[in-house]
Amino acid sequence: MGLMRFLVHPQEVLGDWPEVHRAHISGLDGRIYPTRVEVAGNLITCRRPHSDSGKLHVPWPVRGHGRPVLSTASLREREAPYLLALELARGKLSEIRDQCAAWQLLRMAPPPEYQAIEQSAFRLFSRATALQENAPEASRLAVDSIVQACQAAQVLVESYIEQRLAVRRHAVGHAPTLLGCTLDAGLPGSRGEIPFCDLFGAAAAPIEWRLIEPTEGKYEWEPVDALVGCCADHRLLVRGGPLIDLGPHGMPEWLSPWQNDFLNLQSFVCDFIETAVSRYTGRVRMWEVSAHANTGVALGMGEENRLALAARTLEAATRTDSDSQFFIRVDQPWSEYQARGQHRLSAFQFVDALIRSNIGLQGVNLEIAVGYRPRGSMMRDLLGLSRLIDGWSQLGVQLDVTLALPSSDEHDAQAEEDLEVDRPAWEAPWNESTQARQALEIVRLLMAKPAVTGIFWSHFDDGRPHQYPHAGLVRPDGNPKEAFEVFRNFQHARS
């Protein structure tokens, strides 16, 4: 049993810091260990199955930056507890220095403002290191260093975005990344059809098994035909799927009797995949074959069976239409779910296993749902998101990103019941302005990444059934939110 201990000063921080129980430790290879967190006084104890060196990751309150996940440098186990704020400051400074050096190798010029803020953060960290015997004072200086380091990271990423976007515009004349959204089933012919098509150049048509065959043997293709026809009428690029969703509520209920008969279950799934892909051959060129296979709990399937099913569905889709592009969607791409001890493979390892199988996987859709629990991702700053995309780009396949951000923390009757908006929120409470600001920053960063080929918003209209609470661009009364204007401006800039 591995054990790491950390001191927190002042102790009052723990009174309003529920996120401490979501802390987890990762190894040198990035794998997240199952982690149990205990708090006694101002001492945090993290227990895990292994005693190797590792990094602690924990949401930390940072003045002016909310509660992003911060990481320590790699730490060995020792008898004496570490001073948490000091180690988080060390980790953040190492992160921004490493990233700055990497971007300089790509001929990016860091702005002078970054250098000044980074040096200020380092001086505060140096003073804190020299005062470790005075833990309260060292923690105070380290906290100030973290604030400065987060500000330096923000300045550095903003400079990166500006320089990369300028290079991409110069090279191709416009942003080459697809900008799309899930096309709600009732949208064609409604008042939202024209605004949707004005905002986006691509649409994710929900060609999903649970919607098309809610009763065994009875297919309901008409709503999907209308969606695909609407996209053709407005010259929108269509991505179909996910054909099967292994998350909660994602599979037809009539499959339940077959959950213990995996061989026959695979046959049912592959039959539907072949039927759907062949029906829209020539009209849908991009497919999301499966979703949430890395974390899903559908039909009680274990990780090995989910991986096998994802592989079989890809084989069936490729065999049916070899000219189309086939993606899978993974949620929680930072793989925090491994901390619960129920999953052996990280999201990256899950996808890597499918790619190595050479069965026709051409892209990955990363579902980044920030501000939700229990199935969303914890909050990171833009540098954390940038490093995530850079890591996934090493797979050498296309990357799409599906985004969800809430505009309120109130109950949403149209959303899935087991999802709620996380509290406390970002640097400001979740509202329409916060949603719009975060959407603007994240989409700009993703457009600067050459590996990202498509950016899709999770759903359009909060007035229709959806997965994530308050993540739409349109209110239930039909009026647009502030984030609606963000995407309108993006589309106009690309025209």
What's the pLDDT tens digit per position in 267-318?
Answer: 889 999 999 999 999 899 999 999 999 998 887 888 999 999 999 999 999 9
Longest dimension (CA), the chain: 72
CATH of residue 322: 3.20.20.80
Q: How many CA atoms lie within 13 A of 401 on its CB side?
A: 28
Of 169, 197, 227, the residue at which a domain comes to its end is 169
206 with 162, same domain? no
218 with 142, same domain? no
Q: What's phi and psi for 145, nearest 5 deg?
A: -65, -40
117 with 209, same domain? no
112 with 184, same domain? no
136 with 184, same domain? no
Instruction: Output the pLDDT for position 207.
Output: 93
149 with 179, same domain? no
Instruction: Output the pLDDT for position 10.
Output: 87
Instruction: Output the pLDDT for position 196.
Output: 79
Q: What's phi and psi for 446, nearest 5 deg?
A: -65, -35
200 with 63, same domain? no
Instruction: Output the pLDDT for position 235.
Output: 87
29 with 161, same domain? yes
389 with 273, same domain? yes
**Count of residues making up the chain:** 495
Write out the H or E segment, with its range, that includes residue 155: helix 135-172
Q: Which residue has the tokens 């009428």?
A: 233
Q: Which domain holds residue 131?
A: 2-169
93 with 237, same domain? no
Of 122, 146, 169, the residue at which a domain comes to its end is 169
| 409 and 99 Cβ atoms separated by less than 8 Å | no
Q: Is the peptide bond before 242 cis (omega within 30 degrees of 0)?
A: yes
135 with 196, same domain? no
Beta strand segments in 297-451, E: 325-331, 363-369, 372-373, 398-404, 420-421
Of 146, 169, 192, the residue at which a domain comes to its end is 169
**Beta-bridge partner residues of 363:** 327, 398
| 165 and 447 Cβ atoms separated by less than 8 Å | yes
Mark the ranges of the chain whose per-residue pLDDT is less than 70. Answer: 1, 170-176, 186-194, 424-427, 493-495
Instruction: Output the pLDDT for position 373.
Output: 87
CA 335 to chain centre: 10
Q: Is the peptide bond before 374 cis (omega within 30 degrees of 0)?
A: yes
356 with 397, same domain? yes
Number of domains in the chain: 2
Instruction: Output the pLDDT for position 408.
Output: 92
pTM reported for the whole predicted model: 0.93
Instruction: Output the pLDDT for position 495.
Output: 57
